[in-house]
Amino acid sequence: MVAQHSRTVFLIDMQSFFTSIEKVENSSLDDQPVVVAGDPKIRSGVILAACPLAKKWGVQTAEALWEAESKCPYLVVVKPRMQLYLDVSVSIAASLESFTDEVEPYSIDEIFVEMTNILPGLGRTAEEAAEMIITKIYRETGVVARVGIGPNKVMAKMACDHFSKKQPGGVFHLHENNLQEKLWPLSVGSMFGVGMRMARHFQDMGIRTIGQLARANLTDLRKRWGVNGELLFRTAHGRDESPVTIDTHIRRKAIGHHMTLPRDYRSWDEIKVVLLELSEEVARRVRANHYLGTTVTVSARGHDFFDRPSGFHRQVKLYDFTNDGNVIYETVKKLFLTHWNRDPVRSLGVSLDGLTTDEERQLSLFYPERDREMLNHTVDDLKNKYGSAAVLRASSLTAGGQALLRAQKLGGHYK
């Protein structure tokens, strides 16, 4: 029997990620069967990604380029641009972090998002929220996403891998009520965490399906494979208590916030309002995660990023650790004014890097900060209790301000 859960977790998977980005970059590839492959002279031409049109010809990821070309004579081969793909992946994760810190990049094209505390305020079902996120990602990047929904990370992952990718809308919800019907008939080798060797071991034991593994004797599994045997038994039952957190894989190194503006901002008077809002939002999230940081980064770009790139990405190291929005903003302001060439700005970003725990910090005799810290935490408490619009700077009410509008939205969409 599957334990009852109250969580809702999304696994967001970007369809044919590398080739999707290449088609966004070059619209002439839209109707072409495209693959991204390594240099044949160096990597034997292994297929790293294939678009849906190429897959219709039978082209598969990880096969040799010559095999793919023998299947599809019209194949368009593009060399990989990993930094570009990584940049887009980071931007998608940052976009999702605009409404929750519980975002965990699982791979370059997969992201876990903890939705448990988001859905009540959103006023939508999990499926509706998934559709909203798919639309958001497509509008911002041109990449099509699929979403697996589950009561934990394992269930969300298997929902996406086995079902979401086959649904017309790209969304599937795997839960305790449909687990036995949908998941248990599948081959045990298709279960998350089971490799080819383990699948052969299970088959030697007469275990062919996930359901048969779920009904197997746990004592026998423990005796043969120890902790891993029990872990796979729990996975077959859809049990997983692991949290959605970036610290699952790496220690968090930075917290940032990025915003796409509703129009081109041309004047410093408008731009500085948004930079102040971003600085304070980054500081709030840094404090919420109990961090301090030493490196401030600001980025800006114009509206025509792909055809006529413009903008910059600059950072500077502070003399001391901070999680104060005013300190971050003053640094951001100097950086921005130094590097801005007066081109119109359509998106802005601010981040604080070099993070460390706030449990220990060096006291300064010349810069007493205790009162300021108490004020910051008081404002945080008010926003947490009454909403992000409970306390605003007067500048946010001017034409350039976005904080009041953002307070009406969740993940860039109206509630």
| For the chain, domain boundaries | 18-82, 184-236, 251-414
Note the CATH number of domain 251-414: 3.30.1490.100
Could you tell me the CA-to-CA distances from 231 to 179, 214, 409 in Å, in that order?
A: 17, 11, 39
In this prediction the pTM is 0.60
Strand partners, 385: none
Let me know: does 300 contact 336? Beta carbons within 8 Å.
yes
Is residue 25 part of the annotated active site? The answer reads no
Task: Give me the amino acid identity at 272.
Answer: K
CATH topology of domain 18-82: MutS, DNA mismatch repair protein, domain I (3.40.1170)
Q: Indicate which residue of 110, 114, 270, 280 is catalytic.
A: 110
pLDDT for the residue numbered 97? 82
**Record: fold of 184-236:** DNA polymerase; domain 1 (1.10.150)
> Does 324 appear as a known binding residue?
no
Q: What is the pLDDT of residue 415?
A: 39
Q: Is 240 annotated in some ligand binding site?
A: no
Question: Looking at residue 5, what is its pLDDT?
Answer: 46
Q: Which residues pair with 161 in a beta bridge?
A: none
Q: Are 209 and 185 in contact (CB under 8 A)?
A: yes
333: helix, strand or coil: helix
- Predicted local distance difference test score (pLDDT) of residue 362: 54
Helix (H, G, I), strand (E, B) or coil at 319: strand
Q: Is residue 292 within 8 Å of 356, Cβ to Cβ?
A: yes
Residue 122's pLDDT is what? 77
- The candidate with the shortest Cα–Cα distance to 37, out of 24, 29, 46, 27, is 46
Q: Are 214 and 194 in contact (CB under 8 A)?
A: no
What span, in angstroms and rounded, lies between the C-alpha atoms of 106 and 111? 5
Beta strand 145-150 with 9-14: parallel, antiparallel or unpaired? antiparallel
| pLDDT computed for residue 4 by the predictor | 42
pLDDT, mean of each 10-residue run, the chain (415 residues)? 66 94 92 83 70 93 86 90 87 82 88 89 87 91 94 95 92 94 94 87 91 93 89 93 69 74 88 91 87 90 62 86 90 93 89 79 53 69 67 68 57 40
